[in-house]
Amino acid sequence: MMRLQHCYRITDLRSTSLASIIAQTRQRWRPVLVGLLLLVLISGTLFFGPVLISHASPPSPTSYYHLAFSDDFSGTNTDLEKNWTYRLGKRTFSYADGTTHTSIQQASNVVEGGGLLTINLTKDPTKANTYYAGGVITKQRFRYGYYEVQAKSTAQAGWHPAFWRIHSDGSADSSGNTILTCPTMEIDGFEFNTYSNSLADQNFYEHAADGSCPSIYSVQSGNYTLKDATGTAIDETAWHTYGFTYNESGMSFYVDNVLQKTLSSQALSASYRTDCTISSLVSTNPNAGSCPPIQDFTQVWLSCIQYGQTVGTTPTSIQFRNFKYYQKDYYVDNDSASSDFGPSDGTYSETGVWTTSSLAGFGESSSRYSNTNNATANWKLTLPSGTTGSYDVYLYIVANSNNDTAGKVQFNHGGTIEPTQTINFAATPGGWLKIGTYNLLGGEVESVTLTQTNSYARADSIKLVRVG
């Protein structure tokens, strides 16, 4: 007969406090409760399948990031075409055995439906070494923030799926080759090389401004294996969440919220730049310099091409779902929306006579100057709703000895005009100058105005950096 060890007699209650009884009961029943919980978890896994891994979250503090763009691919290709264009054109590769392979990217290989973006991968049965693939490219261009997508690759050899960003809308030239806008920075959230045991690349390149867009410098670790939290290689043919942060100083790459590596974009500046003039980013400048890397706005690509000497012949596919882009900081630049450095997060306007300078602004963008009395440059943006917080506000300084020695800077946030600051720009080093920290409201208009006083005023960019 089972004896009930955890019952209390009336006489026990006379000498035992209620708090003591509760504490003893918790202690005695805890092993039983833990066992029941484990049984529930195990049975849930057996009968309902494994617990799904949640999306990778933006790095802490998550509350500072604002979801600025997303697509769950739950519609049809008609819905897809509202926000994305197709990767078209062709790529041709020659191999050591003398063969040449051609990968033709076409819209018909891309299908949206049921919450999935599927890219079908096939071989032409009538042409030797000719393959068909495809992809999509965002119509919108992005800069700093956190990018993420869920993806499932193929186990078949000879394909090159990728989640990446570069400045190009996927247009092809008369020969069918993809046209890139240069100079530009390419960031690869992942590139799977299924021809090489599915090793991955997570890296970035800068492409030259000489028109041909070669990747003249890259910072990467080469091909390597992506790993989970236990250090075990992931199975890229299963669903995983891939993400990367990108800011001025560099980028960090994640898989299922596990940090894979961090790269410094500043390493580029000491690699081949010789000056900081516009279009100095050319492959003929191998010497060390002090320019920051290019920081342009780019499209996001979810795509695949055929790549590799050995290729499977059975039709296969790769899939994506739930693309998201989060933004934390906001930039307004003098460059037009159609340039490498637009569209910025707001608008830029001038009064007086201004001229485009040969001196580069932030990240190789252009800058403007004026010596017209009381000429002004104004940067304005409206913070998205839900982004209320504390922000550091900066003005980018293009250094020059003939700069204004008493320029005026004024910050207006939501109709509140802060005291005007007088700055000796001739004695101020180039780079970001902090003009203050302010509590700003989502939905309100923020603006910075620069006024010329006694010499050359120089205008480029402002930024609002979320700090609280």
Q: Given a cut of 70, is residue 36 above it in pLDDT?
A: no
The mean pLDDT of 421-432, rounded to a whole number, is 95
Q: Given a cut of 90, is residue 458 above it in pLDDT?
A: yes
Please state whether the predicted TM-score (pTM) of the whole model is above 0.75. yes
The pLDDT tens digits for 365-413 are 889 999 999 999 999 999 999 999 999 999 999 999 999 999 999 999 9
The mean pLDDT of 318-329, rounded to a whole number, is 96
Closest CA to 400 of 428, 376, 380, 422: 428
Least confident of 101-105, 182-186, 318-322, 324-328: 182-186
Q: Given a cut of 90, is residue 8 above it in pLDDT?
A: no
DSSP string, 179-240: P--SSEEEEEEEEEEGGGTTEEEEEEEEE-SSSS--EEEEE---SB--B-TTSPBP-TTS-E
Q: Given a cut of 80, is residue 49 above it in pLDDT?
A: no
Q: Given a cut of 70, is residue 31 above it in pLDDT?
A: no
The pLDDT tens digits for 65-113 are 999 999 999 999 999 999 999 999 888 999 888 999 999 999 999 999 9
The pLDDT tens digits for 116-141 are 999 999 999 999 999 999 999 999 99
Per-residue confidence (pLDDT) for residue 363, from 0 to 100: 77
Q: What percentage of residues in the chain have a pLDDT greater than 90? A: 54
425: Cβ–Cβ under 8 A, 6 or more apart, which residues?
Answer: 397, 403, 404, 405, 407, 457, 458
Query: The tokens 């590769």 sit on which residue?
Result: 93
Per-residue confidence (pLDDT) for residue 200, from 0 to 100: 84
The verdict on whether omega for the bond into residue 161 sits within 30 degrees of 0, i.e. cis, is: no
**DSSP run (H or E) holding 21:** helix 18-48
Of 336 and 410, the structure prediction assigns the larger pLDDT to: 410
Per-residue confidence (pLDDT) for residue 32, from 0 to 100: 44
Closest CA to 179 of 188, 171, 190, 187: 171
The rounded mean pLDDT for the chain is 80
Q: Tell me the C-alpha distance between 360 and 19, whole Å.
A: 72
pLDDT category at 29 given cuts 50, 70, 90 is: very low
The mean pLDDT of 189-218, rounded to a whole number, is 68
Q: What percentage of residues in the chain have a pLDDT greater than 70? A: 74
Q: Given a cut of 80, is residue 189 above it in pLDDT?
A: yes
Q: Given a cut of 60, is residue 38 above it in pLDDT?
A: no
DSSP string, 276-296: -BTT---TT--S---PPPP--
The mean pLDDT of 422-439, rounded to a whole number, is 96
Per-residue confidence (pLDDT) for residue 223, from 0 to 100: 66
Per-residue confidence (pLDDT) for residue 283, from 0 to 100: 37
Per-residue confidence (pLDDT) for residue 219, from 0 to 100: 57
Q: Tell me the C-alpha distance between 169 and 83, whole Å.
A: 12
Per-residue confidence (pLDDT) for residue 436, from 0 to 100: 97
Residues making up the chain, counted from first to last: 468
Of 247 and 24, the structure prediction assigns the larger pLDDT to: 247
Sign of CA dihedral 336, 341, 345, 349: negative
Closest CA to 265 of 290, 282, 247, 253: 247
Per-residue confidence (pLDDT) for residue 51, from 0 to 100: 34
Burial of 8 (0-12, 13-18, 19+ CB in 10 A): exposed
Per-residue confidence (pLDDT) for residue 310, from 0 to 100: 81
Per-residue confidence (pLDDT) for residue 293, from 0 to 100: 63
